[in-house]
Amino acid sequence: MATTLSEAYRNHPLHLHHIIPLDFSSIRTLPESHAWSESNDSDNIISYNESLSIPIIDLMDPYAMEQIGLACEEWGVFQLKNHGIPLSVIEEVEVESKKLFSLPAEQKLKALRSPGGATGYGRARISPFFPKYMWHEGFTFMGSSGDAKKIWPKDYEKFCDAMENYQKQMKILAEKLSHMILNFLGIKNCSSSSEENKWVGSTNHIGAIQLNFYPCCPEPNRAMGLAPHTDTSFLTILHQTLTNGLQIFKDGSGWVPINPNPNTLVVNIGDILYIMSNARFHCALHRVVVNKTKQRYSMAYFYGPPIDYVISPLVINSHVPRFHALTVKDYINIKAKNLGGALSFISTTSKNI
Ligand SMILES: C=C1C[C@]23C[C@H]1CC[C@H]2[C@@]12CCC[C@@](C)(C(=O)O1)[C@H]2[C@@H]3C(=O)O
Ligand SMILES: O=C(O)CCC(=O)C(=O)O
Ligand SMILES: [Fe+2]
């Protein structure tokens, strides 16, 4: 599984300066390399407005499927309560993640992501697309975290157990949500489509964890935690610690905050589901802003089909497909070169293909 995703990234090696994070522990002022324009502040958080808050859905609600479908159409993202993930599993992953990021830089660098790799410690993979660096460190892994053994040759077990339990639980939840979403889209009722979506609930899928850390920042209004992006996944499930920062872009409104709610996970649709929904769902462009006094941590689980799976738009009622069908691997390759332009690159109305 891990090797298959790395295979897709191998053709797009990054320069080391786009992988090695700043040693934030020794920094007291914002370096020019991390100073984004002030405009990032003025287009910032919109004022609170009831109709502009991301839906909170109770997974135990008998109408959860319809509510999830509607939230995907309007927002591309929703908050989920009664999700069934034991609190202890989430708490442990938080403890281990905090332990990891508080290590001295040289220790973390032992697990540095390789230039063409998908897993390990480093800056976000999207870093080369932006003129400035982000105020962020990340650690990506799939399955058992071999990279943790490089950091703690003897004491890796607690970390690995916590991450494995978390992945196990996240996978179960991701499968449940995927079934509901595919049902909502009516994919189950299309000819041969249940065949095509056999990856949901099988071992033949991609499941990856991204631990994110946003240190306190001396000038948060001029810095960026994680630059605007959509996830490549089918769907992403995110746990955030109690510090604000995540925002979703809503056409006509601007950046809408998704502030943490206790016992609530954030679920957003990724590019793969956006394509499969034939753009019926909203594409969840999101970013993270940083804080002067509070550190922020988040743990994302990316769930999606295997890299040889052919993504094709679900077309109902003689609607025209808005995207060319292509494999996950091809899409990852296109995105590695175009980032935000990847979706228009595969659009049936553009002249790129
Ligand atoms: C399984 C995934 C999903 C990846 C790529 C690969 C490993 C790391 C993930 C992230 C995590 C941080 C944001 C993002 C945009 C990034 O830079 O790295 C994500 C990206 C994607 O959704 O494309
Ligand atoms: O830190 C967050 O809240 C969001 C992280 C994120 O967008 C990602 O890991 O893809
Ligand atoms: Fe994301």
Q: Which residue has the least CA distance to atom 23 on ligand 1?
A: 232
The Cβ of residue 203 has, within 10 Å, a number of other Cβ atoms equal to 9
Q: Is the shortest distance between the CB of 288 and ligand 2 below 6 Å?
A: yes
Tell me, which fold does domain 2-306 have in CATH?
Jelly Rolls (2.60.120)
Per DSSP, helices labelled H in the chain are 2-9, 39-42, 64-74, 87-101, 105-108, 146-151, 157-185, 193-196, 271-276, 328-338, 342-345
Ligand 2 mutation pick, 94, 230, 244, 246, max ligand atoms within 8 A of CB: 246
Question: How far is it, in rounded angstroms, from Cα 142 to Cα 160?
Answer: 11
Q: Is the shortest distance between the CB of 238 and ligand 2 below 6 Å?
A: yes
Question: How far is it, in rounded angstroms, from Cα 75 to Cα 280?
Answer: 11
pLDDT in tens, 315-328: 877 789 999 999 99
Residue from 254, 290, 287, 258 nearest 42 by CA? 254
Q: Is the shortest distance between the CB of 210 and ligand 1 below 6 Å?
A: yes
Q: Which residue has the least CA distance to atom 6 on ligand 1?
A: 118
How far is CA 349 from each of CA 14, 179, 188, 232, 283, rounded to the nearest angstrom? Answer: 31, 30, 27, 21, 18
Q: Among 39-48, 182-191, 247-256, 313-322, where is mean pLDDT lowest?
A: 39-48
For residue 251, list its beta bridge partners: none
Residue from 184, 148, 146, 143 nearest 164 by CA? 143
pLDDT of residue 235: 98
Residue 341 in this model has a pLDDT that exceeds 60? yes
Asked if residues 131 and 122 have their Cβ atoms less than 8 Å apart, the reply is no
Using a CB cutoff of 8 Å and minimum separation of 24, what contacts does 167-170 make? Answer: 167/143, 167/207, 167/209, 167/301, 169/84, 169/85, 169/86, 169/89, 170/85, 170/207, 170/209, 170/237, 170/301, 170/303
Mean of pLDDT values over 221-231: 97
pLDDT of residue 82: 98
Which ligand is closest in space to the CA of residue 232?
A: 1
pLDDT in tens, 235-253: 999 999 999 999 999 988 8
pLDDT band at 40 (very low <50, low <70, confident <90, very high): low
Residue 198 in this model has a pLDDT that exceeds 60? yes
Q: Residue 242 C-alpha to ligand 2 middle, in angstroms?
A: 14
Q: Does 296 qualify as catalytic in the annotation? A: yes
Question: How far is it, in rounded angstroms, from Cα 339 to Cα 128?
Answer: 10
Place of tokens 């306190």: 216
How far is CA 155 from each of CA 88, 210, 222, rounded to the nearest angstrom? Answer: 20, 21, 38
Per DSSP, helices labelled H in 248-314 are 271-276
Q: Is the shortest distance between the CB of 140 and ligand 2 below 6 Å?
A: no
Sorted by where each begins, the domain ranges of the chain are 2-306
User: Of ligand 2's atoms, which has the minimum distance to the CA of residue 287?
Assistant: 7
pLDDT in tens, 116-151: 999 999 999 999 999 999 999 999 999 877 789 999
pLDDT band at 43 (very low <50, low <70, confident <90, very high): low
Which of 113, 125, 222, 296 is the catalytic position? 296
Mean of pLDDT values over 291-311: 96
Residue from 57, 79, 275, 314 nearest 183 by CA? 314
pLDDT of residue 319: 83
Q: Residue 188 C-alpha to ligand 3 middle, in angstroms?
A: 28
Mean of pLDDT values over 287-297: 96
pLDDT in tens, 16-34: 999 999 999 989 999 999 9
